Amino acid sequence: MSKSYTIRQKARAKVQAREAFQTSNGQLFARWETPSLYVVYSYGDHWPLFLWDGTEWFENEDRRSVTTSHHRGYTHPHCDTAKVSRTWLRTMIQNRAA
């Protein structure tokens, strides 16, 4: 799936549709890591915000910067999420992508 550019205020619709995107400055983006693993990132691969594993949404519950908190607000899928650590999310991504 190709990546499209969007403004951060329209990112939630992209997340809800599970579409790859990035903002023009590249600070907020989402992509399919595998055919069944969709991830929303803030400021790079080191900070996943949300992960969809094909059946459930997971949310990074770790402390974040003010800007990343705004990114979370712009991209929250507005449904129930399982709150997990950033380490848990990164491990899930690495294990599934391997």
Rounded CA separation 98/29 (Å) = 21
Q: What is the pLDDT of residues 11-58, one digit of tens each?
A: 999 999 999 999 988 899 999 999 999 999 999 999 999 999 999 999
Number of domains in the chain: 1
Which pairs with CB-CB distance under 8 Å and at least 24 residues apart come from 6-12? 8/70, 8/71, 8/74, 9/74, 11/74, 11/75, 12/74, 12/75, 12/76, 12/77, 12/78
Rounded CA separation 77/2 (Å) = 20
- Is-contact 93 84, C-beta < 8 A? no
Residue 1: band (very low, low, confident or very high) from pLDDT cuts 50, 70, 90 = very low
Buried b / exposed e over 58-97, threshold 16 CB at 10 Å, is bbbeeebeeebeebbebbbbeeebeebebebbbebbeeee
Q: Chain-wide mean pLDDT for the chain?
A: 91
Q: The domain containing residue 90 runs over which residues?
A: 4-97
pTM for the structure as a whole: 0.90
